Chains A and B, each alone.
Chain A
Amino acid sequence: MRRNTAFLILLLAFALVVAACSDSEDSGTTTTTAAPDATTAAPDATTTTAAGSDTTAATTAPDAGFEGKAVANAAGCAEDYTGRVNTITAIDEFTVEFALCQPHPAFLEQIAFGVFGIQPEEHLEATSGAPLDNPIGTGPYSLQEWVRGDSIIYTRNDNYYGDVAPHATAVLNWATESSGRLIELQSGDSFGMTFPGPEDFATIEGDSNLELINKPEANIFYVGMTNTFEPFNNVDVRQAIAQGIDRQRIVDTFYPPGSEVASHFTPCSVEFGCEGESWYDFDVEAAKALLAGAGLADGFSTTIYYRDVTRGYLPTPGNVATDIQAQLLENLNIDAEVVVLESGEFIEQCSNVGECDGIHLLGWTGDYPHVTNFFDPHFGATVLQFGDPYPEIYEPLLTASTTTDPAVQGPAYEEANNAIKQLVPMVPVAHSASAFGALASVEGAYAPAWGQVLFNFWDNGTDTMVFTQGNEPISLYCSDETDGESLRACAQVVEALYGYEPDGTVKPQLATECAPNEEGSVWTCSLRQGVVFHDGSNFDANDVVASFAAGLDAASPLHTGNTGSWVYYEALWNGLMNAPAE
């Protein structure tokens, strides 16, 4: 028995060495296929910790009888496979390895996103990959009941490894209008609310019983231009528009207090977001000179497209569109017709295929706190939103997104930002502020910059905590949802390997550490031991594999979900594993 164990340890070590030495970008590399019944060896129980990892987690020897599972893309990192993930393997009971097809500098920030929460393998199988209204997690609360249309009731998890909630029950309800949420708060029926309207900020600030909690919002509102349509194929015209719009006026007039004029596309709170030169100043004379140089001294006619949908980055789209229309005419003699498109049509035409022949108003709210989440979906080599992609922008972005070396990333993002300024695919206008409201008597009330607010940190001095958001969740299986209301509801119950501190820095959660190899293409996660799911089952590596497989592996029997579209898995991991042929 001892000889067999030693042999298996040697075999595992040899496999790890081979994996580390292989070229992960070689499209011809054959990858290991999923081996669900492979017996793994029990590594040394002593764990080493690195800086930034959780050193407080208790460690025990992994179960020697543990049968680690794995999921793999059958074609490996083939050339036509756009996805990031090659394999996910349960090395042992408390170790999971993510082998990627290229280095991923934002791996930790990304896996901390609540969509990548972990549920028990057995539960996912029992629900056929669709625990839509009965999630089981490791979070500070378990789900007691979803009273559809009315509220979600949570019960405190007394065995939670983190900060146990001070109240036994938490209730999440919803009111679509800010005024309705505010009345709930003022009446004392609710202790916290999301996103009061700008018109309610003064009311909350003027009431000594209430508290306005500023929520750092990582978003951007921009004015996009499509370079495949004249005259926006002329860089002088785009630069003229960049300098001919008084962005400060837009922010002062239409945005809530705390909002900022954008100096760069990415908020400066995101690392590398503000490398390079700041955006142009408002300079009408310079703008006119540029137009004159382009032969358009008398202006021209164009169209401003927008959708009448309120977003954090654009609370009053119609008003802003009208103001931009007025500014273009007044400052540059550009006669712009404002056209409202239905939301789906707008996204399809203006964002997905870049066929809006003029100016379009859009924005972005970050999913996770890394600059790649802002730059790559907008300025990547395959993104058509602004017409023909700009190699001056996407080439340095590609360099930066495939390395974990900050010495390389910094200059690359500087180069990209400067190119964006020079080429003006869009004009960044505003980073909008938002806020939560709370009763002043609540201790610990906060509004996180990233991730979702967790109720266990709010102490209202009673046994029941009530929080009001804007809408009912669509489902409680957030791996297949995209709306903030669902993600907030899930976050109380289901946790991911990492999480976010209130200021956005990532922190270990169900993993005590995820460490990369030298190039950042293989991430090995050590899991927190002794964690128990709400159903009493023990958390182990196979749960991580199953949870990720459900979302990432199109061939998995667990790949069901709610809508079956797995939008975030597909978007953030650049594609699904084992996707069916087109």
Chain B
Amino acid sequence: MLAFITRRTLLAIPVLFGIMVVVFLLIRAIPGEPCSAILGEQATVEACERFNEANGLNDPIWVQLAIYIGNVLTFNLGESIQFSVPVSQLLIERLPLTIELAMSALIIAVVVGVPLGIIAARRHNTAIDAGTMAFANIGVSMPVFWLGLMLAYLFAVVLKDTPFALPPGGRLSAGVISVPYYVVWNWNLTEGSTWAGINEFVGNFVIFNSFITGQWSVWWDAVQHMILPAITLATIPMAIIARITRSSLLEAMNKDYIRTARSKGATETRVVSKHGLRNSLLPVVTIIGLQLGLLLGGAVLTETVFRLAGVGTALFDAITGRDYAVVQGFTVIIAAGYVVVNLLVDLSYGYLDPRIRVSK
């Protein structure tokens, strides 16, 4: 197991390196200079010259690349040209929300999608099968931007002043602040230290933080604000998971061991859950892992509709603003996240399928 993890981690290094170089070159291939994008229309040529000089943009491209790689190797992701804060600080602020949103969406997608797929497979070629698949596919067909706006309008405007009302956007209600756990518990953290950064990162998981510190009104406010964006974001993965579950379960239910289980007198529920579903989970888990990786990359449209300051909007703003350091830094982190998720998926195969465990 350890050798497997080590091998996969080492293999990830050239992958990440390649991504770094490609992103570095691609962002600079986009027409337009950071100066005019950040300083605006009134920036003079002289102002741009000073700006480029101050930010190392006048250096040869290979020098910039070498500096960037050197910084990354020392865990320095650079500084945002636009906001003049370290990229790592932006990550600390933005990534927790994206992770919370992605996990919330994925939970909804799995909790709804897997049962839908099971129902469709069990009622194969019936109206229920067609209906459940149609329901799932409606989620794929609706544009996320439109769906999000419609949900926000329905729950925030139409259902305003009813028990079903939900906030239209933001992470918390205006003026509501989640006090980090290290403040609540009076931890002495040295400002600017790595340990302080780690705790700030964890503290920015608002739902988690408010839960463990007993800030129940904040927790409930955060949950309410997460419902609509999570549903919006979950519709596409839910449909994909439902379809994969259905097809994989159908395939498993046609195997000989299923007939054997039935002939031994197992109930249909036990046949499906213990024998059928478990043996059909490998492709489902694979898809779930891929979807999680996609979600962690940031959902720009959902974040835009619901005013969520996540990785997606940060990346979009950085690309349009030619904030090279942010684009490069965020992309590396997302790629690393993808690698970790895929590794976890691979490890789960061994848990799900004893044959894989034995062969390893």
Using known A-B contacts A175-B307, A344-B32, determine if residue A565 contacts B156 with beta carbons closer than 8 Å: no
Return chain A residues, CB-CB under 8 Å to B152: 180, 183, 187
1/0 per residue B80-116: CB within 8 Å of A?
Answer: 0111100000100110010000000000000000000
- Whether the Cβ atoms of B82 and A183 lie closer than 8 Å is no
Return chain B residues, CB-CB under 8 Å to A564: 50-51, 54
In the complex formed, the residue of B with least CB distance to A564 is: B54
In the complex formed, the residue of A with least CB distance to B31 is: A342
Using known A-B contacts A148-B93, A344-B37, A567-B40, determine if residue A189 contacts B174 with beta carbons closer than 8 Å: yes
- Whether the Cβ atoms of A187 and B157 lie closer than 8 Å is yes
Which positions 137-194 of chain A face chain B at CB distance < 8 Å? 145, 147-151, 153, 169, 171, 173-177, 179-180, 183-184, 186-190
User: Among the interface residues B149, B167, B169, B310, which one has the most CB atoms of the partner chain A within 10 A?
Assistant: B169
- Whether the Cβ atoms of A482 and B168 lie closer than 8 Å is no
- Whether the Cβ atoms of B39 and A171 lie closer than 8 Å is no
In the complex formed, the residue of B with least CB distance to A309 is: B41
Task: Kindly count the residue-residue contacts between A and B in the assembled complex, taking CB atoms under 8 Å apart.
Answer: 139
Complex CA gap A351/B177 in Å reads 45
Return chain B residues, CB-CB under 8 Å to A305: none
Complex CA gap A381/B105 in Å reads 60
Complex CA gap A570/B168 in Å reads 42
- Whether the Cβ atoms of B170 and A177 lie closer than 8 Å is no
| A355 vs chain B, min Cβ distance (A) | 13
Q: Which range contains the number of A residues in contact with the other chain? A: 35 or more
**Which of A149, A348, A482 meets B309, CB within 8 Å?**
A149
- Whether the Cβ atoms of B42 and A571 lie closer than 8 Å is yes
In the complex formed, the residue of B with least CB distance to A565 is: B47
Complex CA gap A169/B93 in Å reads 23
Task: State whether the Cβ of B347 lies closer than 8 Å to any Cβ in chain A.
Answer: no
- Whether the Cβ atoms of A150 and B170 lie closer than 8 Å is yes
- Whether the Cβ atoms of A567 and B39 lie closer than 8 Å is yes
Task: State whether the Cβ of B33 lies closer than 8 Å to any Cβ in chain A.
Answer: yes
1/0 per residue A449-483: CB within 8 Å of B?
Answer: 00000000000000010100000101100000011
- Whether the Cβ atoms of B84 and A130 lie closer than 8 Å is yes
Task: State whether the Cβ of A4 lies closer than 8 Å to any Cβ in chain B.
Answer: no
Return chain A residues, CB-CB under 8 Å to B43: 482, 565, 567
Task: State whether the Cβ of A352 lies closer than 8 Å to any Cβ in chain B.
Answer: yes
Task: State whether the Cβ of A347 lies closer than 8 Å to any Cβ in chain B.
Answer: yes
**Which of A149, A153, A187 meets B168, CB within 8 Å?**
A187
Which positions 6-40 of chain B face chain A at CB distance < 8 Å? 31-33, 35-40
Task: State whether the Cβ of B358 lies closer than 8 Å to any Cβ in chain A.
Answer: no
Task: State whether the Cβ of A132 lies closer than 8 Å to any Cβ in chain B.
Answer: yes
- Whether the Cβ atoms of A482 and B42 lie closer than 8 Å is yes
Task: State whether the Cβ of A568 lies closer than 8 Å to any Cβ in chain B.
Answer: yes
**Which of A130, A149, A153 meets B94, CB within 8 Å?**
A149
In the complex formed, the residue of B with least CB distance to A171 is: B174
User: Among the interface residues B42, B47, B157, which one has the most CB atoms of the partner chain A within 10 A?
Assistant: B42
Return chain A residues, CB-CB under 8 Å to B54: 564
Task: State whether the Cβ of B58 lies closer than 8 Å to any Cβ in chain A.
Answer: no
Interface size on B, residues (CB 8 A): 53
Return chain A residues, CB-CB under 8 Å to B31: 342, 344-345
- Whether the Cβ atoms of A149 and B93 lie closer than 8 Å is yes
- Whether the Cβ atoms of B175 and A173 lie closer than 8 Å is no
Complex CA gap A186/B167 in Å reads 11
Complex CA gap A150/B157 in Å reads 21
**Which of B33, B39, B313 meets A563, CB within 8 Å?**
B39
In the complex formed, the residue of A with least CB distance to B306 is: A180
Which positions 260-304 of chain B face chain A at CB distance < 8 Å? 304
Return chain B residues, CB-CB under 8 Å to A345: 31-32
Using known A-B contacts A183-B149, A565-B39, determine if residue A173 contacts B174 with beta carbons closer than 8 Å: yes
Using known A-B contacts A183-B156, A342-B31, determine if residue A567 contacts B42 with beta carbons closer than 8 Å: yes
Task: State whether the Cβ of A562 lies closer than 8 Å to any Cβ in chain B.
Answer: yes
In the complex formed, the residue of A with least CB distance to B149 is: A179
Using known A-B contacts A567-B40, A570-B44, determine if residue A183 contacts B168 with beta carbons closer than 8 Å: yes
Which positions 261-310 of chain A face chain B at CB distance < 8 Å? none
Task: State whether the Cβ of A248 lies closer than 8 Å to any Cβ in chain B.
Answer: no
Task: State whether the Cβ of A343 lies closer than 8 Å to any Cβ in chain B.
Answer: yes
Return chain B residues, CB-CB under 8 Å to A582: 46
Return chain B residues, CB-CB under 8 Å to A145: 177
In the complex formed, the residue of B with least CB distance to A190 is: B174
Complex CA gap A149/B92 in Å reads 12
Q: Do most interface residues of chain A lie in helix, strand or loop, or is the interface mixed?
A: mixed
Using known A-B contacts A150-B172, A189-B156, determine if residue A474 contacts B82 with beta carbons closer than 8 Å: yes
- Whether the Cβ atoms of A475 and B40 lie closer than 8 Å is no
Return chain A residues, CB-CB under 8 Å to B170: 150-151, 173, 189
| B249 vs chain A, min Cβ distance (A) | 40
Task: State whether the Cβ of B65 lies closer than 8 Å to any Cβ in chain A.
Answer: no
In the complex formed, the residue of B with least CB distance to A352 is: B45
- Whether the Cβ atoms of B167 and A348 lie closer than 8 Å is no
1/0 per residue B193-226: CB within 8 Å of A?
Answer: 0000000000000000000000000000000000
Complex CA gap A183/B56 in Å reads 42
**Which of A173, A176, A186 meets B157, CB within 8 Å?**
A186
- Whether the Cβ atoms of A147 and B177 lie closer than 8 Å is yes
| A442 vs chain B, min Cβ distance (A) | 15
**Which of B97, B157, B173, B304 meets A183, CB within 8 Å?**
B157
Complex CA gap A482/B31 in Å reads 22
Complex CA gap A145/B93 in Å reads 14
- Whether the Cβ atoms of A351 and B41 lie closer than 8 Å is yes
Using known A-B contacts A179-B149, A180-B305, determine if residue A344 contacts B174 with beta carbons closer than 8 Å: no
- Whether the Cβ atoms of B307 and A169 lie closer than 8 Å is no
| A298 vs chain B, min Cβ distance (A) | 35
Complex CA gap A565/B168 in Å reads 38
Task: State whether the Cβ of B153 lies closer than 8 Å to any Cβ in chain A.
Answer: yes
Complex CA gap A150/B39 in Å reads 23
Complex CA gap A151/B35 in Å reads 26
In the complex formed, the residue of B with least CB distance to A145 is: B177
- Interface positions of A (Cβ within 8 A of B): 130, 132, 145, 147-151, 153, 169, 171, 173-177, 179-180, 183-184, 186-190, 342-345, 347-348, 351-352, 464, 466, 472, 474-475, 482-483, 562-568, 570-571, 582
- Interface positions of B (Cβ within 8 A of A): 31-33, 35-48, 50-51, 54, 81-84, 90, 93-94, 97, 149, 152-153, 156-157, 160, 167-175, 177, 304-310, 313-314
Closest 7 CB pairs of A and B: A149-B309, A344-B36, A187-B156, A342-B31, A171-B174, A482-B40, A565-B47
- Pick 10 A–B contacts, CB within 8 A, sort by A: A148-B309, A149-B93, A149-B308, A171-B175, A180-B168, A187-B167, A343-B37, A352-B45, A567-B39, A567-B40
Q: A151-B170, A171-B175, A344-B31 are in contact. List 16 more A-B contacts (CB 8 A).
A: A149-B313, A150-B309, A153-B175, A169-B175, A173-B174, A175-B169, A183-B157, A187-B157, A187-B168, A342-B32, A464-B175, A482-B43, A563-B51, A564-B50, A565-B39, A571-B44
